[in-house]
Structure 1
Amino acid sequence: MTGGAFSVAICLTLFLIIEYVGHVDDDVFSIRFVIAAMGSIIVFSSHRLLNSLQDRNALSLLPKLTWRWFVVFMVVLLSAYVEKTSEQLSRKVMLLWLVITPFSLMAMALLIRVVASAYYASPLRRRKAILIWSNSACADLVSSLRDSPLAAVDVIGFFDNRNVSRPPSNIDRLGDLGDAVNWLLDSETGKIKVDVVFIGMNTKEPEELSEILEILYDSTATTYFVPESLIFGMPGIQLRELAGRPVLASVETPFIGLAALPKRIIDFIGAFIALILLSPVMLTVAIGVKMSSPGPIFFKQVRYGIAGKAINVFKFRSMKMAAKDTPVVQATVGDIRVTKFGSFIRKTSLDELPQLFNVLNGDMSLVGPRPHAVAHNELYRKLVNGYMFRHKIKPGITGWAQVNGLRGETDTLEKMQARVDYDLYYLQHWSIWLDFVILWRTVKVLFGDKNAY
């Protein structure tokens, strides 16, 4: 989405310059607008640029934006040369565009920072973190996080066996590592209390650390390993940058700070448009459900959302009404509970359309791991390695696993493991383009999938 914002800045600058200069070839410049817009979206859409937007020194952005703009400008010139229309371009317009645009991009970057700062000013949108067995690198990280509010991470304290604290003195010491084992899990819900855990890596780790890691493995908390020295390349660990500092992360969410905004904007706009366009279809399905069997039109089920929090997921009812407190059982081929009309809407996934309201509300995303019933979550988290990592992001109406043939009943442990593997691949390789690919492939799957019933 940053690519789109910077694309607007580039095209708006060109438009204003043309209005100021006047007397240009509209046909030639209209093509330049299209090429500049497409080139800008590609060149300015990168996680590295998103991270740079969080730098404390805003002026450091200018050279990074300028060289990307120069690439786009040269592509525009090259396109005119190939079309043999370069002589028809106003030199005054092009020169002004080349010189002024870096400042327009800088203004857009500052606007993005202001909007993001306001968005993450709310404590509800920030992640809570703790330090465990800190080192000097952790102290530097805490300082950098405080200087980078757009990282949206608040460190609330640390656990350490040593009396002399390594972090800044104004970070609360919550206890020793033995205390951390009991503190991490909420005694009532059994869920992790924080969103992020930083673990300092030293030459000698304490014995208690293994028990802490075991707790973290079965949780939705992101774990960062902060090395005292440059010991990277550990198996299964991702090298990331947080607030300008190197960290090693275990299956980190791609939606940190500013990176979360593009996904949310696309979800909101996509769900809003889809609800408008599909409203006649949804009305028809609602009538069909009501006529197919007695009971409500919608089916509501509690499932796990991001960070393992319970959410209500909505569907069009496709089964006959069951008695209250009936155990949750996955639908199977030829399931007698499914009505004839319910079978049709399940095969075409029309029963999933009410989840667009979940997306609009922010509980779900258009694309992400499919939410499972709570009973299934509690079962498979004990059987499938890395199962809870899929809850680091919002569940989706469709996902990478579903368009790769893993839709419908997961009647074996191998199928569930495969589904989780696809979900983790999506989490580690997410991009806006991957979301578009999944949405496009979902449309094709809906009318030819034999795994839905």
Structure 2
Amino acid sequence: MFNSSPDNASRPAQLLAVLTGIAFGAIVYFTLFLIIVYSEKANADAFGVRMLIAFLTSIIVFSSHELLNSLQKKRIFALFPTLTGRWFIVFMVVLLTAYVDKESEQLSRQVMLIWLLVTPFNLMLTAFVIRRMAIIYYSKPSRRRKAVLIWSNSACAEMIDSLRMSPLAAIDVIGFFDNRSDSRPPSNLNKLGELSDAANWIVDPLTGRVNVDVVFIGLNTKEPPELAEIISILYDSTATTYFVPESLIFGMPGIQLRELAGKPVLASTETPFIGLAALPKRILDLIGATAGLILLSPVMLIVALGVKLSSPGSIFFKQKRYGIAGKPINVYKFRSMKQDKHSGPVIQAKAGDPRITKFGRFLRKTSLDELPQLFNVLKGDMSLVGPRPHAVEHNELYRKLVNGYMFRHKIKPGITGWAQVNGLRGETETLEKMQARIDYDLYYLRNWSVWLDIVIIWRTVKVLFGDKNAY
């Protein structure tokens, strides 16, 4: 099976992830090689080091358990944006190294453009071939495992749906045992009996024959006494047993299996940026922030002048916010309000707020006041995309009122975020709006990908000049 997460993957899954990265790296390498061979304008010597850098970078970028899990999904073509996003990172690293080495002028623009456009389709073809070979391999009944579900919960229902959408998991859930109504698991899953029937069905008491390969046991806040007998029988069988906890048992969202010091543990919502998994996002941040500062430097100079002329005071506004792990950071913005010499509780800006200058209202409407945060990104305090950092006073207030609020600090705060491009930008005057914003932040944390970052950046650009929630 491909199922695993970056920090609790078994050694075979880790090896499979690396082999997949090598396969995609080889495609990137040989695509450029063939383009050079058939191109009359290419200087092969100039491309030698770039090809090696592309290969090594591809291994890092494509050696991803998330990518392996995506290969399982039925809609394989939905993987194209992910592959394209990862390839774009590799391509930008190659360009950046060529620029640093002062060899970019020696690279044929025609070759580089063809390589940029053709490679995503070759990667998609490779993914299709890998998936097809795996499907053929796992299509034999002898290579698939039969499973049953015991004592369902909502997490079990979601897991079964995921297994059905993931043919490469090679697990067929054939039914369930439960003392409750038939509607507990997915409606099209057959009920095989009550819990009292499960023990004799799974393991034949006369022959000791095991009738199933995998048993999923749902954990709820109240377990039936029959489970103890079933677990005892499973302990003395060859069936693989998985316990599927209901997150609400622990009063915390996003319960996940992790490994700590070689031992399996259940963890609440965890950061997706562990070890090498953090590298693609950091590369995207460095490239995006550097390009943004270069391209937008004339705009920033004009804005700085406008702020200085609009009202007395400093050009920049500095405020303490919570960063990753809840550590305080200084977040910079162009000042959009009148200078306030009095310290006190932070009051969120509202529509028609008299503290906002005329020029400041334009800056906030277009989000140009956020541009200095590109320096925060280069420094490493922030990311281009992530949960927006709130004022310290707001954190102390809402952490007591909103479920899962502090989980958003498991990753770096961003200049823009998933909540902001979904209409939750600006004032959060009700508790419901803040809860909705946190729900979007936690969705981003659990579903992060380079492609999702690119989508958020693109959607941010689209709404810059038309956001009615910016004051």
TM-score range, shorter chain: 0.5 to 0.7
The separation in 1 between residues aligned to 2:445 and 2:432, in whole angstroms, is 20
The separation in 2 between residues aligned to 1:433 and 1:373, in whole angstroms, is 29
Shift of 1:319: 0.4
Hey, what does 1:358 align to over in structure 2? 376
The separation in 1 between residues aligned to 2:399 and 2:335, in whole angstroms, is 27
Hey, what does 1:400 align to over in structure 2? 418
* Gap runs ≥5 in structure 1: 52-70, 80-200, 202-228
The separation in 2 between residues aligned to 1:78 and 1:426, in whole angstroms, is 27
Structure 2 residue 250 is the aligned partner of structure 1 residue 232: no
RMSD: 3.9
CA shift in 2, pair 1:237/1:322, >3 Å = closer
Shift of 1:300: 0.2
The separation in 1 between residues aligned to 2:299 and 2:330, in whole angstroms, is 23
Hey, what does 2:178 align to over in structure 1? none
Q: Which amino acid aligns with 1:75?
A: L
Is contact 1:271–1:360 with CA below 8 Å preserved after alignment? yes
SS in 1 for 2:244: coil
Structure 2 residue 28 is the aligned partner of structure 1 residue 11: yes
Hey, what does 1:378 align to over in structure 2? 396
Hey, what does 1:367 align to over in structure 2? 385
Structure 2 residue 442 is the aligned partner of structure 1 residue 424: yes
Q: Which amino acid aligns with 1:248?
A: L
Hey, what does 1:178 align to over in structure 2? none
The separation in 2 between residues aligned to 1:246 and 1:341, in whole angstroms, is 55
Q: Which amino acid aligns with 2:462?
A: K
* TM-score normalised by the chain length of structure 2: 0.52
Hey, what does 2:432 align to over in structure 1? 414
Shift of 1:272: 0.7
Hey, what does 1:192 align to over in structure 2? none
SS in 2 for 1:383: coil
SS in 2 for 1:301: strand
Shift of 1:258: 1.1
SS in 2 for 1:231: strand
1:38-437 maps to which residues of 2 (within 5 A)?
44=62, 46-47=64-65, 75=125, 230-235=242-247, 236-242=253-259, 246-437=264-455
Shift of 1:8: 5.4
Is contact 2:24–2:123 with CA below 8 Å preserved after alignment? no
Q: Which amino acid aligns with 1:11?
A: V
CA shift in 2, pair 1:271/1:50, >3 Å = farther
Shift of 1:234: 2.5
Over residues 181-209 of structure 1, what are the superposed CA-to-partner deviations in whole Å (9 max), with x where a residue is unaligned? xxxxxxxxxxxxxxxxxxxx9xxxxxxxx
Over residues 378-427 of structure 1, what are the superposed CA-to-partner deviations in whole Å (9 max), with x where a residue is unaligned? 00101111110100000000000000000000111111111001100110
Shift of 1:17: 7.9
The separation in 2 between residues aligned to 1:304 and 1:231, in whole angstroms, is 36
Over residues 208-247 of structure 1, what are the superposed CA-to-partner deviations in whole Å (9 max), with x where a residue is unaligned? xxxxxxxxxxxxxxxxxxxxx8423332444445478654
SS in 1 for 2:332: strand
CA shift in 2, pair 1:269/1:452, >3 Å = same
Is contact 1:47–1:259 with CA below 8 Å preserved after alignment? no
SS in 1 for 2:245: coil
Hey, what does 2:461 align to over in structure 1? 443
Q: Which amino acid aligns with 2:325?
A: A
Is contact 2:323–2:329 with CA below 8 Å preserved after alignment? yes
The separation in 1 between residues aligned to 2:127 and 2:341, in whole angstroms, is 69
Is contact 1:232–1:239 with CA below 8 Å preserved after alignment? no
CA shift in 2, pair 1:263/1:320, >3 Å = same
The separation in 2 between residues aligned to 1:318 and 1:297, in whole angstroms, is 9
The separation in 1 between residues aligned to 2:367 and 2:66, in whole angstroms, is 37
**Aligned residue pair count:** 276
Hey, what does 1:179 align to over in structure 2? none
The percent identity for this pair of structures is 70
CA shift in 2, pair 1:379/1:5, >3 Å = farther
CA shift in 2, pair 1:50/1:253, >3 Å = farther
CA shift in 2, pair 1:303/1:76, >3 Å = closer
Shift of 1:447: 1.3
Structure 2 residue 470 is the aligned partner of structure 1 residue 452: yes
**The 10-residue stretch of structure 1 (408-417 or 239-248) with the greater mean CA deviation from structure 2:** 239-248
